[in-house]
Amino acid sequence: MTIKENKVVSLTYELRVNDEKGEVVEKVEQNAPLTFLFGRGNLLPDFEANINGLKKGDPFSFMLEPEKAYGQVSEEAIVDLPKNIFEVEGKIDENLLKVGNNIPMQDNSGNRLNGIVLEIGDDAVKMDFNHPLAGDTLFFEGEVCNIRKATEEEVSHGHVHQGGGAHPCGG
């Protein structure tokens, strides 16, 4: 069976930044593979393009430039927010509001965003809403460990339903 639209794919991989010798920023192993419904927009489009047509056991190795991954760092995604929006019952949680913390938030339209606290002022908090890998070239190296046909329910929902049965990578 080959990877194509509406197949459930399980992969192991290492993700490095800059090139094949760069820092490892993510390692997905057989005991907890990345399992997803292929062709449904759940992963970066160019990631899927690079594994399209592979078979179980096939290795892969490819690089994605920032424009094909998470884009360049955008200064527009670095914003000052009023400090009072971080208050709960009139108080700021000092454990939450620390430089370097990643805080899940929502924009005015209800979209979920993650922001990293850059600075804390008297009245404002500078947050960076760029993806943590924005501006980075990504290098993926891994192996396809399983491919199966998606169930009708998975196809209609657009994602994999985990449950019963053997582990997808035999772990």
Q: In CATH, what number is assigned to the domain containing residue 84?
A: 2.40.10.330
Query: What pLDDT does residue 163 have?
Result: 58
Q: Is the pTM of this model over 0.75?
A: yes
**41 and 116 part of one domain:** no
**15 and 43 part of one domain:** yes
**44 and 124 part of one domain:** no
Structural domain includes residue 25: yes
Query: What pLDDT does residue 164 have?
Result: 41
Query: What pLDDT does residue 89 have?
Result: 87
Structural domain includes residue 168: no
Determine the Cα–Cα distance for residues 158 and 153; give it in Å rounded to an integer. 8
Q: 33, 14 in Cβ contact below 8 A?
A: no
Burial of 149 per CB tally in 10 Å (0-12, 13-18, 19+): exposed
Domains held by the chain: number: 2
**33 and 84 part of one domain:** no
Structural domain includes residue 26: yes
Structural domain includes residue 162: no
**79 and 117 part of one domain:** yes
**22 and 100 part of one domain:** no
Query: What pLDDT does residue 107 have?
Result: 83
Query: What pLDDT does residue 171 have?
Result: 54
Query: What pLDDT does residue 165 have?
Result: 43
Here the CATH number for the domain that contains residue 12 is 3.10.50.40
Structural domain includes residue 152: yes
Query: What pLDDT does residue 167 have?
Result: 52
**111 and 29 part of one domain:** no
Structural domain includes residue 19: yes
Query: What pLDDT does residue 170 have?
Result: 58
Structural domain includes residue 145: yes
Beta bridge partners of 40: none
Determine the Cα–Cα distance for residues 75 and 52; give it in Å rounded to an integer. 34
**21 and 48 part of one domain:** yes
Q: pLDDT digit of tens for each residue in the chain (171 aa)?
A: 999 999 999 999 999 999 889 999 999 999 999 999 999 998 999 999 999 999 999 999 999 999 999 999 999 999 999 998 888 888 888 888 999 999 999 888 888 889 999 999 999 999 999 999 999 999 999 999 999 999 999 999 999 987 544 455 655
Query: What pLDDT does residue 1 have?
Result: 94
Q: Which domain holds residue 106?
A: 75-128
Structural domain includes residue 2: no
